[in-house]
């Protein structure tokens, strides 16, 4: 289980996160939604140990996140960040293999290659794997990045998977491939999945719990039925009730 208690984070005078609490168990999927600039990516960075909060603490499996070494952490949780840029000339498969780097002793083993092949197959990305990464479309690059992130934790039961807008550049079928696979892995391997998405329908159909974040505060947290109501959608996204209603759980 990952547990965040009373998380606050500021840059200068600006409060980016204020008293955020959350809990996410193995086998569970949490969707975080909110307007641009709400603090979603910052929260993810705190949950993954990239940023240290000014106040509050994050515990993973009962241990403070700052008590894990970087190597321990990289075997426990994998992160698909919003701005994963790669400019060097790599073949797509090499990018996916990079996900294995925390596990490499000396060089890639037979198992590392098997894992990469399995993931490419599950993501329907075998054909992309021999292409130069830089020549892939935005959506294809995102799929390869997702494959890299999965390669990091593929053989780890009960790992944590964090996804920051994983479906933003993807067509409908590819969106489903990614979210369906994340869902399957949460069941198969007991992964705890935390994803930032903008699509309320996606959250509604796939997430076990939903958090609305606005101005750095968790303004709603609970089941999709509980959170995806006209009032909270309208308030969180500053839209008229008549629009919010269209997305609400009825
Ligand atoms: P979201 O992912 O919800 O769109 P972010 O977490 O990226 O939002 O950012 C939240 C707010 O904090 C934004 O207004 C952003 O400009 C600001 N912010 C994030 N990081 C920094 C930083 N290092 N310095 C100043 N402002 C920041
Ligand atoms: Mg963001």
pLDDT in tens, 177-205: 899 999 999 999 999 999 999 999 999 99
> What integer is the mean pLDDT of 134-151?
93
Over 90: is that where the pLDDT of 171 sits? no
99-130 confidence digits (pLDDT tens): 999 998 888 999 999 999 999 999 999 999 99
> What integer is the mean pLDDT of 155-172?
92
Over 90: is that where the pLDDT of 138 sits? no
Tell me the CA–centroid distance for residue 130 and ligand 2, in Å. 30
Continuous segment of H or E residues that includes residue 201: helix 200-206
> What integer is the mean pLDDT of 123-143?
93
Residue pair 132/92 in contact by the 8 Å Cβ criterion: yes
Say how many CA atoms lie within 13 Å of 91 toward its Cβ.
Answer: 8
Ligand 1 site, residue 236, Cβ cutoff 6 A:
no
Q: Residue 105's pLDDT is what?
A: 82
Residue pair 232/220 in contact by the 8 Å Cβ criterion: yes
Ligand 1 site, residue 175, Cβ cutoff 6 A:
no
Tell me the CA–centroid distance for residue 88 and ligand 2, in Å. 24
Q: Residue 84's pLDDT is what?
A: 64
* Nearest protein CA to atom 14 of ligand 1, as residue: 37
Q: What is the mean pLDDT of the chain?
A: 95
* Nearest protein CA to atom 27 of ligand 1, as residue: 11
Ligand 1 site, residue 20, Cβ cutoff 6 A:
no
Q: At what angle do helices 138-153 and 110-122 cross, to 10 degrees?
A: 140
How many separate domains does the chain show? Answer: 1
Tell me the CA–centroid distance for residue 15 and ligand 1, in Å. 10
Residue keyed to tokens 């974040």:
213
Ligand 1 site, residue 69, Cβ cutoff 6 A:
no
Ligand 1 site, residue 83, Cβ cutoff 6 A:
no
Taking the CA of 33 as reference, the closest ligand is: 1
Continuous segment of H or E residues that includes residue 186: helix 172-188
45-55 confidence digits (pLDDT tens): 999 999 999 99
Structural domain for 141, as ranges: 2-247
Cβ within 8 Å of residue 244, ≥6 positions away: 230, 231, 233, 234, 237
Q: CA Rg, the chain, in Å?
A: 18
Q: Which residues fall inside 5 Å of ion ligand 2, going by CB?
A: 40-41
- Phi, psi angle pair for 130, to nearest 5°: -95, 0
Tell me the CA–centroid distance for residue 199 and ligand 2, in Å. 14
Pick from 64, 52, 48, 71: nearest CA to 161: 48
Paired tokens of 10: 């500021």
The CATH number assigned to the domain holding 240 equals: 3.40.50.300
CA angle 70, 72, 78 (to 5 degrees): 80
Taking the CA of 212 as reference, the closest ligand is: 1
71-104 confidence digits (pLDDT tens): 999 999 999 998 766 778 899 999 999 999 999 8
> What integer is the mean pLDDT of 122-148?
94
């Amino acid at each position: 289980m990952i547990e965040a208690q009373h998380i606050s984070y500021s840059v200068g005078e600006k409060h980016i996160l204020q008293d955020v609490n959350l809990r996410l168990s193995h086998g569970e999927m949490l969707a975080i939604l909110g307007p641009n600039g709400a603090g979603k990516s910052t929260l993810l960075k705190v949950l993954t140990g990239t940023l240290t909060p000014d106040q509050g603490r994050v515990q993973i499996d009962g241990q403070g996140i700052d008590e894990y070494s970087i190597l321990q952490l990289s075997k426990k949780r994998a992160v698909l960040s919003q701005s994963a840029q790669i400019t060097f000339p790599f073949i797509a498969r090499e990018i996916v293999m990079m996900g294995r780097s925390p596990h490499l002793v000396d060089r890639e083993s037979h198992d590392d290659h098997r894992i990469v092949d399995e993931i490419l197959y599950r993501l329907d990305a075998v054909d992309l794997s021999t292409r130069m990464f830089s020549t892939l479309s935005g959506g294809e690059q995102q799929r390869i990045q997702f494959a890299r992130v999965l390669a990091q934790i593929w053989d780890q039961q009960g790992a944590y998977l964090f996804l920051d807008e994983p479906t933003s550049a993807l067509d409908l079928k590819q969106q489903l491939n990614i979210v369906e696979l994340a869902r399957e892995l949460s069941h198969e391997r007991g992964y705890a999945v935390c994803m930032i998405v903008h699509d309320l329908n996606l959250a509604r159909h796939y997430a076990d719990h939903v958090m609305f974040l606005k101005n750095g505060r968790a303004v709603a947290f609970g089941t999709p039925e509980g959170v995806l109501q006209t009032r909270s959608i309208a308030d969180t996204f500053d839209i008229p009730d008549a629009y919010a209603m269209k997305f609400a759980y009825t």
